[in-house]
Amino acid sequence: MNPEPRLLEVRKNVLKQNDVVARALRERFRAQGTFVVSLVSSPGAGKTTFLEKTLALCRPRCRVAALVGDLATENDARRLARSGAPVRQITTGTLCHLEAAMIEHALVDWDVGPLDILFIENVGNLVCPASYDLGEDLRAVLLSVTEGEDKPLKYPTIFNSADVAIITKIDLAAAVEFDGQAACASIQAVRPGMNVLKVSAKTNEGMEAYLQFLMENASRNLPKASV
Amino acid sequence: MHELSIAMSIVDLAQEEAELRRVQVDAVHLELGALSGVVKDALLFSYEIACGGTLLEGSRLIVREIPVEVYCPACQTPKILASIQWFCCPDCGTPTSEVLHGRELMITALELKQ
């Protein structure tokens, strides 16, 4: 008979290193009065177009900037820079998600001055980004009408980890016979009570409501901030 | 697929602990929550690769899967979800987002060589 295994008890959170950096970032942003919003979605859900429009609409009202994660190209950063807001690319190489240390590193010599809202666009991926806290105050998960209404059920972890769901490309809803009720039901199944906003970055439908939502959350989170 | 980098973190942490306590590790025990975003099979496969050339080479990873436990506001008690696609009390059907367990990604013990 085998002897009982000798066990040495330890309790170590595998993601502790990331969580420590994320917590420090969150404290630092809060002290600076910066509200941080991260965007996650599958590739092609319209994150960049949506963010480009968001930055352009926010600029007259508050100080905004964006960090954008991508595997290889800097195309997204170039597109976002057209909004006039400061944008910095984080090229992740083969890594399929952003980690808190990459955010910290990207901030090192980025002289953007005080910000009211910093947006972080994650790599297009509905799996891996779920595990990594980036120090954000609000995580928005995007779902475009051209994806299946049951996508939240297929990727429950990331939808559950988010604070708001944004249905994008709503101008195409009729053309692709998108069932908004079914999509909302899927979202509510994996994250009961989550806010769902519907937008089109192309026609601006729903963008004003989204901006209001952002400003309200930013001011609630940062009572002393100017937003 | 971020399981390889997770596996490397597990090996780093376990190796650090083994060096500190001057022990030889036969297996690493891990709690893996259903909402951790990590796939067990991919992690086991990656672990073997991540162990290569380290003090943990040849060791095993023993995974204990943790189901999602939520707090049901109607029953006023913790409940285990029947499915992570349905965040409702399995008994009364009340929707709930209050997750108590299921996000774990935690090394709980090192099993030592005899």
Contact at CB, A6 and B114, closer than 8 angstroms: yes
Report pLDDT for A147.
95
ipTM computed for the complex: 0.90
Supply the mean pLDDT for chain B. 96
Report pLDDT for A75.
83
Mean pLDDT confidence for A201-224: 90
Report pLDDT for A93.
81
Supply the mean pLDDT for chain A. 93
CA A15, CA B108: separation in Å to the nearest integer? 14
CA dihedral A72→A74→A79→A84, nearest 10 degrees, is 140
Kindly indicate the confidence band of residue A2, based on its pLDDT and cuts at 50, 70 and 90.
low
pLDDT tens string A83-103? 899 999 998 887 889 999 999
Mean pLDDT confidence for A149-172: 97
Q: Which of A41-45, A78-82, A182-186, B75-79 has the lowest mean pLDDT?
A: A78-82
Report pLDDT for A226.
45
First to last CA, chain A: 69
How far from A67 is each of A46, A47, B34, CA to CA, in Å? 16, 12, 30
Contact at CB, A96 and B10, closer than 8 angstroms: no
pLDDT tens string B70-100? 999 999 999 999 999 999 999 999 999 999 9
Of B6, B97, B106, the CB nearest to A193: B97
* Residue A143 CA to its chain's centroid (Å): 12
pLDDT at B44 over 50: yes
Contact at CB, A14 and B106, closer than 8 angstroms: yes
Please give the single-letter amino acid code of residue A118: L
pTM: 0.92
Kindly indicate the confidence band of residue A223, based on its pLDDT and cuts at 50, 70 and 90.
low
Report pLDDT for B34.
96
Of B30, B35, B111, the CB nearest to A6: B111
Question: What is the number of CB-based contacts under 8 A between chain A and chain B?
Answer: 102
B109 touches chain A (CB under 8 A): yes
pLDDT at A137 over 60: yes
A36 min Cα distance to partner chain B (Å): 22
Contact at CB, B107 and A97, closer than 8 angstroms: no
Kindly indicate the confidence band of residue A55, based on its pLDDT and cuts at 50, 70 and 90.
very high
Contact at CB, A3 and B36, closer than 8 angstroms: no
Contact at CB, A12 and B27, closer than 8 angstroms: no
Cα-flanking dihedrals φ and ψ of residue A40, to 5°? Answer: -125, 150
pLDDT at A1 over 70: no
% of chain A surpassing 90 pLDDT? 82
Question: How many helices and strands (H and E) does chain A possess?
Answer: 8, 8
Contact at CB, B97 and A160, closer than 8 angstroms: yes
CA A181, CA B33: separation in Å to the nearest integer? 30
Report pLDDT for A222.
65
- More confident site: A82 or B111: B111
Instruction: Select the residue from A2, A4, A6, A12 to test the B interface by mutation, using most B Cβ atoms within 10 A.
Output: A12
Q: Under a CB-based contact definition with an 8 Å cutoff, are residues B72 and B96 in contact?
A: yes
Question: In sequence order, which ranges of B22-56 are alpha helices (DSSP H)?
Answer: 40-51
Q: Under a CB-based contact definition with an 8 Å cutoff, are residues B102 and B69 in contact?
A: yes
Touching A: B residues 29-88, CB under 8 Å = 29-30, 35-38, 84-88
